[in-house]
Amino acid sequence: MYRSKTILTALVAAGLALSAPFAATAKELRMALSAEPSSMDPHFHNLTPNNALTSHVFERLVHFDSKMKPIPGLATSWKTIDEKTWEFKLRPGVKWHDGSPFTADDVLFSMERAPNVENSPGSFATYVKGKTFAKIDDMTIRVTTPAPYPLMPNDLATIAIISKKAASGAKTDDFNSGKAAIGTGPYKYAEFVKGDRYVLVRNEDHWGEKPVWTKVTIRPIKTGPSRISALLAGDVDVIEEVPTTDIERLKGDTKIALGQGLSNRVIFFHMDQWRDESPFITANDGSKIKNPLKDKRVRLALSKAINRPAIVDRLMEKAAVPASQFLADDFFGTSKKLKPETFDIEGAKKLLAEAGYPKGFKMTLHSPNGRYINDARMAEAVAQMFTRIGVETKVETMPGAVYFTRATTGANGNPEFSFMLLGWGAGTGEVSSPLKSLVATFDKVKGMGPVNRGRYSNPVLDKAIEEALATVDDPKRAELLAKASEIAIEDVAVIVSHYQLNTWATRKGMQYTPRADEYTIAMSVSEQ
Amino acid sequence: MSVTDAGPVAAPVRQPAVQTPFARFVADFTESRLATFAFILLVVTMLLALIAPWIVPQNPYDLAQVDIMDSRLKPGTPASSGKYTHWLGTDGAGRDLVSAMLYGLRISLLVGVLSGLIAMAVGAAIGLIAAYVGGRTESLIMRIVDLQLSFPAILVALMLIAILGKGVDKIIIALVTVQWAYYARTVRGSALVESRKEYVEAARCLGLSNGRILFRHILPNCLPPLIVVVTVQTAHAISLEATLSFLGVGLPQTEPSLGLLISNGFQYMLSGDYWISFFPGLVLLATIVVINLVGDQLRDVLNPRLSK
Amino acid sequence: MTAYIIRRLMQSAAVVLAMSVIVFLGLHVVGDPVYLLIDPQADQAEIERTIRRLGLDQPIWIQYFHFIKGALTGDLGTSFVHGTSALKLIVERMPATLEIAIAATLMSIFIGIPLGLYAGLKPNGFISKSIMATSILGFSLPTFWVGIMMIMVFAVMLGWLPSTGRGPTATFLGITSSLFTIDGLRHVAMPALNLALLKISLVIRLTRAGTREAIHQDYIKFARAKGVSMGRIVGVHLLKNIMIPVVTVLGLEFGNLIAFSVVTETIFAWPGMGKLLIDSIQTLDRPVIVAYLIIIVLLFVIINLVVDILYSVLDPRVRIGEKAT
């Protein structure tokens, strides 16, 4: 630790001009994560900490930049041959960490393995499904789909390419032990001690821009205050997920630098819109009533009751932005017309009265605790706000372990709760992901609305989403997605609250370029 | 090494009994000024907790009275309604800390004392029976104790939450489930020693009933270590409840106990808003210290072998 | 004695069986891990495929049957989260937990017993009263609160000790442990003390209570009258007589330390079994929880057995197994 400190001091003292000769010296970076990666096998579990860790070692055909725009990775370019066929040109001259050359065979091998990893608790099958991969020559592959499929680059940005030579027949444990952990990425596998530390060393032969750090040690520190303490004590250089309560204080700390950026995650509420009587809604006297959430006016009233600026300001410590739709404005496919619902208690009360609930009703708001940033406190604050317009709201929080099963299949295979807090991170970096999963009509056969926990159903919206999903032309699709978002939001299919900002903290002299996909990677840590 | 124990132990009488047993107990107890002071404090604390709803300016469990806009106000800030002052500030949800602490104290005391007493009653009875009856019954009981002791509190709490939901009664059930085995094990340990002593044999020879021997003779002799465990465990129950809340399987978010206030305030500790977890921590600490001082003195007074 | 031990071990097998049934049924009621683990973007078909892959589509009794079948061949199942053998996961993390548990137990013995003896022998002195008052602090504040305070004071403000994590290991007499390196010990210090606080207070109180009681008993008075030195009285006669409750409690507590160092390990990011357990409970990783609890039950059974045997050694009046039929 002292060594790197002195080097840093020396650098600062000597000025930037001298940094080039010094670049050859060892520079260690220590990062603390809030969650523990479970494997070095990039196909084992599609989970943010795993994906972030393995992306040091393995690369994808398409990469996401920090704002989740697709950029060339192991593929230098891609284009559509016809509506149903995509062609990818592979990057020439790329070498695996063992020295063998990267070819189309590796890509085919990876696509074959990714959906079929033994014991995988959450595989990448969703992104490979329905695609046929064909090798044209060593540096060209073609992907065909039965129907027009516009999300090809986004999907392929999730699948890591592994070496056919090193990983043939390899099991997950072989990646963890390092045997099969041969990638093309900017870092090489050095050590994997589950739950303790993950060590990587720089790949000096990498094709791309060389990262600053020669050695990277990643450690999981789950508890927020402990993570901050580790940074303040100088035991780590970078931490992710800075607790919102500490942001203000760290801003004033001269030894710390913050990196904050918009995430792809929206916090919203699903509302029971399929049962005639909802289990957690009663009249004020406790008797059963017709499900009020089926009435758009009630849903709008609840949305108006939420004081979004107050939530952002008082609860999220400004580490959030009031939400108007499913993804923040600068993502692909968002509507420019939608604005966050204005806070209006009188308007809300009026709408409730119009809908036939002048005295409100009673409701229970369910929320996980510890799954999203400040989730339980958020539920409590929103319950306060609902109570103020006459909807007396009780809060019930529970650990994710209990919550998600009940919220998904708690009532004989259907969602149990009436009004629930949830979050959604758009893994594809564009709007079709939340539209398709959250508000499209629940349909097992089509694979639509898989986590539509309010069972909202609107044929007009379904048609709009399906049309967008079959449009390959980017500008046209963006327009269609925006229209679909407007339909959903104007009908208050869900109540959106805010987009999360992600916050990283580093020691002074470093800077973290915030990533919308919430990845914490050494390549994003720069030196100043 | 042969040990001559102090014969049949039915509170040996020191002086010719001019005092009633209760008066003597009071006299013994008040011998320590510190313990008397602690006892008075404990009574005051319990009273405060009891009458909390009538003396605090805000009902912290009523969401209509709590506003997120008032969150994290510094101690001494006037309330937004202007009717009172947040003397100790507000917490992250906008609850007045004085009100929340007194309400929380109610719950913490209820949870700690009730779960401690029930667990002790259940555990001590089972432990005594195991030691006295022996044989298969003892083996069965002690294996159930093994089973219970190896179950983590958080797993018990998680399962109970899934089955019963959250609530004060549920957390008491969880804490009793976690703690009874501990008492059973301790009591059995001492009872095993006691039941082989001469006075028990003497009692048997006299033809006393098993129940009488168990509860009138063996139990009083097992009390000293038991009281140590009770006072420690009651305090521990209160902080265990806080820990369960910290792990997300404790009490409902909107009805915080002292422990939940502390664990909610935990995230503010590094941010400078110290009061959110500092004041509840202080009250919790004081309460537990007081319980223990009283417990310590009780143990000394009740212990038949310590009488001078 | 041998027959007694064998009988105890057989009873333990029944305990393990009972426990596995409870955990299977209990976790089944709590929830389905798939909804926690799967990529949220997955559609219904993929969710069902994953449920099948993890074997969770089967009725619970068939899942249990499969588990028993595997357990008989020494396979306690494959972790849902990690995809590797549950047993291996736990064994890998055991040394880290043993380190802090042993360190904490040593602290509670070497700090707790002398302080407790002193407080028991001079119950009315100022120092004794201070010891007793301070010992209350040990169990009145929640572990997580004390833990983070320690980190703030010793790591952030004073910079004496590293804030979190486990230090480098070294191998000594075939055992690899971070207790054998200076930096390793520096890392162990805070989590071990955090774990030990409650135990130290407990030992102080038990020792003091035992001492106060024993000091009034006849054999001590005789010994004094005979002119036996105070050191010998305390060291030999007194200690021997007050050890029973202390041994019981310490035995139990050692098991507790190993089993449930959950909070301390979470706060100090200590890569031990406790952290694995809490993570597994939070993700409903049943194979790991079951395997973990089986190990813990066996551990407690062994500890209790040792404690019972120690009883009979420390106090000849207790003859174990004499009544068992």
What residues contact residue C96 under an 8 Å CB cut-off, 6+ apart? Answer: A196, C166, C178, C270, C271, C272, C273
Query: What are A415-427's pLDDT values in tens digits?
Result: 999 999 999 999 8
**What one-letter code names the amino acid at A460?**
V
Minimal Cα distance from A404: which residue of B? B162
The CATH number corresponding to A263-501 among 3.40.50.11540, 3.10.105.10, 2.60.120.10, 3.30.70.2740 equals: 3.10.105.10
Pairing of strands A525-527, A510-512: antiparallel
Question: Which chain C residues touch B228 with a CB distance below 8 Å?
Answer: 205-206, 209
Query: What are A26-66's pLDDT values in tens digits?
Result: 899 999 999 999 999 999 999 999 999 999 999 999 999 99
Work out the pLDDT band at C322, boundaries 50, 70, 90: very low
CATH code for the domain of C163: 1.10.3720.10
Q: What are phi and psi of A171, to 5 degrees?
A: -100, 170
Q: Cα distance from B220 to chain A (closest Cα, Å)? A: 43
Question: Which chain B residues touch A396 with a CB distance below 8 Å?
Answer: 165-166, 252
Of A32, A121, A447, the CB nearest to C81: A121
Minimal Cα distance from A313: which residue of B? B69
Contact criterion met (CB below 8 Å) for B30 and A277: no
Work out the pLDDT band at A7, boundaries 50, 70, 90: very low
pLDDT score recorded for residue C315: 66
Contact criterion met (CB below 8 Å) for C96 and A194: no
Of B165, B248, B271, the CB nearest to A249: B271
- Is C209 close to B163, i.e. CB distance below 8 A? no
Q: Residue range B201-211: average pLDDT?
A: 83
Nearest-angstrom CA–CA distance, B231 and C205: 10
A336 burial type by CB count under 10 A (0-12 exposed, 13-18 middle, 19+ buried): exposed
Nearest-angstrom CA–CA distance, A254 and B208: 78
Place of tokens 């590797």: C84
Of A229, A243, A315, the CB nearest to B267: A243
Of C12, C140, C241, the CB nearest to B239: C140
Q: Cα distance from A227 to chain C (closest Cα, Å)? A: 8
Q: Does C60 touch chain A (CB under 8 A)?
A: no
Q: Does A119 touch chain C (CB under 8 A)?
A: yes
Work out the pLDDT band at C320, boundaries 50, 70, 90: low
Residue numbers of B between 195 and 214 with CB closer than 8 Å to C = 196-197
Q: Quote the DSSP letter at residue B304.
A: G
Nearest-angstrom CA–CA distance, A423 and A405: 15
Query: What are B213-232's pLDDT values in tens digits?
Result: 888 888 887 777 777 677 77
Nearest-angstrom CA–CA distance, C75 and B295: 49
Of A219, A401, A409, the CB nearest to C283: A401
Contact criterion met (CB below 8 Å) for C135 and C202: no
Q: Looking at A11-25, A97-111, B146-160, C243-257, which range is the least confident one?
A: A11-25
Contact criterion met (CB below 8 Å) for B100 and B217: no
The residue of C140, C281, C315 whose CB has the most chain B CBs within 10 angstroms, and thus the best one to mutate to test that interface, is C140
Strand (E) or helix (H) holding B112:
helix B97-133
Minimal Cα distance from A404: which residue of C? C35
Minimal Cα distance from A410: which residue of C? C31
Contact criterion met (CB below 8 Å) for C305 and B155: no
User: What fold does the segment set A44-49+58-170 form as a domain?
Assistant: Dipeptide-binding Protein; domain 1 (3.90.76)
| Residue A95 pLDDT greater than 70, yes or no | yes
- Is A399 close to B69, i.e. CB distance below 8 A? no
Full-model pTM: 0.89
- Is A395 close to B252, i.e. CB distance below 8 A? yes
Kindly provide the ipTM of the predicted complex, given to two decimals: 0.87
pLDDT score recorded for residue B113: 86
Q: Residue range C270-274: average pLDDT?
A: 93
- Is C40 close to A38, i.e. CB distance below 8 A? no
Burial code (b: 16+ CB inside 10 Å, e: under 16) for A115-135 equals bebebbbbbbbbbbeebebee
Strand (E) or helix (H) holding B78:
strand B77-78
C147 within domain boundaries: yes
Place of tokens 């994560």: A33
Q: Does C78 touch chain A (CB under 8 A)?
A: yes
Name the token pair of A315. Answer: 């609860």
Of C142, C212, C301, the CB nearest to B262: C142
| Residue B6 pLDDT greater than 50, yes or no | no
Cα A34 versus chain centre, distance: 14
The boundaries of the domain holding residue C220 are: 93-266
Q: Show the DSSP H helices in C54-181 as ranges.
A: 60-72, 86-121, 126-140, 143-150
pLDDT score recorded for residue C317: 62
Q: Does B12 touch chain C (CB under 8 A)?
A: no
| Residue C75 pLDDT greater than 70, yes or no | yes
Contact criterion met (CB below 8 Å) for B4 and B296: no
Query: What are A453-474's pLDDT values in tens digits?
Result: 999 999 999 999 999 999 999 9
pLDDT score recorded for residue C1: 66
The residue of C7, C145, C322 whose CB has the most chain B CBs within 10 angstroms, and thus the best one to mutate to test that interface, is C145
- Which residue in C278, C145, B158 sits closest to A220, CA to CA? C278
Query: What are A366-381's pLDDT values in tens digits?
Result: 999 989 999 999 999 9
Name the token pair of A378. Answer: 């958020």
Q: Looking at A71-85, B11-25, C190-204, C214-228, which range is the least confident one?
A: B11-25
Work out the pLDDT band at A261, boundaries 50, 70, 90: very high
- Which residue in A183, A495, A481 sits closest to A331, CA to CA? A481
Task: Tell me if residue A105 falls in helix, strand or coil.
Answer: helix
**What one-letter code names the amino acid at A200?**
L
Q: Show the DSSP H helices in chain C as ranges.
A: 2-30, 34-37, 44-53, 60-72, 86-121, 126-140, 143-150, 182-215, 218-225, 230-232, 239-259, 262-267, 273-282, 286-314
As separate numbers, helices (DSSP H) first and strands (DSSP E) second, chain B gives 11, 2
Contact criterion met (CB below 8 Å) for A121 and A172: no
Nearest-angstrom CA–CA distance, B63 and B218: 52
Nearest-angstrom CA–CA distance, B268 and B276: 7
| Residue B61 pLDDT greater than 80, yes or no | yes
Pairing of strands A495-507, A238-239: antiparallel
- Which residue in B179, B143, B192 sits closest to C305, CA to CA? B143
Query: What are C144-183's pLDDT values in tens digits?
Result: 888 988 998 999 989 999 999 998 888 887 788 888 888 9
Nearest-angstrom CA–CA distance, A463 and A470: 11
Quote the percentage of chain C above a pLDDT of 70.
95
pLDDT score recorded for residue A398: 92
- Which residue in C171, C161, C159, C169 sits closest to C192, CA to CA? C161
Nearest-angstrom CA–CA distance, A189 and A224: 27
Contact criterion met (CB below 8 Å) for A214 and A27: yes
Of A249, A315, A377, the CB nearest to B272: A249
User: How far, CA to CA in Å, does A17 sit from each of A6, A7, A528?
Assistant: 17, 14, 12
The angle at the Cα of A217, spanning A212 to A220, to the nearest 5 degrees, equals 130
| Residue A9 pLDDT greater than 80, yes or no | no
Q: Does B188 touch chain C (CB under 8 A)?
A: no
Contact criterion met (CB below 8 Å) for A463 and A483: no
- Count Cα atoms within 13 angstroms, Cβ side, for B176: 20
Of A232, A243, A383, the CB nearest to B63: A383
Residue numbers of C between 184 and 223 with CB closer than 8 Å to A = none
Nearest-angstrom CA–CA distance, B255 and B104: 8
Nearest-angstrom CA–CA distance, C181 and C90: 23
Query: What are C1-60's pLDDT values in tens digits?
Result: 678 778 878 888 888 899 899 999 999 989 899 999 998 889 999 999 999 999 999 999
- Which residue in A191, A66, A45, A62 sits closest to A519, CA to CA? A66
Residue numbers of C between 239 and 298 with CB closer than 8 Å to A = 266-269, 271, 275-276, 279, 281-284
**What one-letter code names the amino acid at B134?**
G
Name the token pair of B279. Answer: 């004041």
The residue of A366, A402, A498 whose CB has the most chain B CBs within 10 angstroms, and thus the best one to mutate to test that interface, is A402
pLDDT score recorded for residue A520: 96
Work out the pLDDT band at A444, boundaries 50, 70, 90: very high
What residues contact residue B167 under an 8 Å CB cut-off, 6+ apart? Answer: B251, B252
**What one-letter code names the amino acid at C125?**
G
pLDDT score recorded for residue B11: 42
Maximum C-alpha span of chain B: 75
Nearest-angstrom CA–CA distance, A124 and A116: 9
| Residue A282 pLDDT greater than 90, yes or no | yes
Q: Show the DSSP H helices in A419-499 as ranges.
A: 432-434, 459-469, 474-490
Contact criterion met (CB below 8 Å) for A506 and A227: no
Residue numbers of C between 173 and 202 with CB closer than 8 Å to B = 198, 201-202
C198 within domain boundaries: yes
Q: Does A253 touch chain B (CB under 8 A)?
A: no
- What is the full DSSP assignment across C85-114? BHHHHHHHHHHHHHHHHHHHHHHHHHHHHH
pLDDT score recorded for residue C179: 86
The residue of C53, C80, C82 whose CB has the most chain A CBs within 10 angstroms, and thus the best one to mutate to test that interface, is C82
Quote the percentage of chain A above a pLDDT of 90.
90
Question: Which chain B residues touch C241 with a CB distance below 8 Å?
Answer: 3
Average pLDDT score, chain C:
85
Work out the pLDDT band at C81, boundaries 50, 70, 90: very high
Q: What's the number of domains chain C is made of?
A: 1
The CATH 3.10.105.10 portion of chain A extends over: 263-501
- Count of Cβ atoms closer than 10 Å to residue C225 Cβ: 9
Name the token pair of A463. Answer: 């048609």
Nearest-angstrom CA–CA distance, A47 and B16: 78
Nearest-angstrom CA–CA distance, B205 and A54: 76
The three-state DSSP-derived secondary structure of A3-14 is HHHHHHHHHHHH
pLDDT score recorded for residue A24: 52
The CATH 3.90.76.10 portion of chain A extends over: 44-49+58-170
Question: Which chain A residues touch B273 with a CB distance below 8 Å?
Answer: 245
C33 within domain boundaries: no
Q: Looking at A275-284, B17-26, B183-192, B245-254, which range is the least confident one?
A: B17-26
Q: Residue range A431-437: average pLDDT?
A: 96
Cα B9 versus chain centre, distance: 28
Q: Quote the DSSP letter at residue A45.
A: B
Nearest-angstrom CA–CA distance, B218 and C301: 26
Q: Does C5 touch chain B (CB under 8 A)?
A: no
Question: Which chain B residues touch C296 with a CB distance below 8 Å?
Answer: 150
Work out the pLDDT band at B2, boundaries 50, 70, 90: very low
Q: Show the DSSP H helices in chain B as ranges.
A: 21-29, 33-55, 97-133, 135-149, 153-164, 168-194, 198-205, 210-212, 219-246, 258-265, 275-302
Q: Cα distance from C276 to chain A (closest Cα, Å)? A: 8
Cα A294 versus chain centre, distance: 30
The residue of A245, A306, A394 whose CB has the most chain B CBs within 10 angstroms, and thus the best one to mutate to test that interface, is A245
pLDDT score recorded for residue C248: 73
Of A226, A424, A450, the CB nearest to C148: A226
Look at C121 and A295; give whichever has higher pLDDT. Answer: A295
pLDDT score recorded for residue A484: 97
Q: Does B26 touch chain C (CB under 8 A)?
A: no
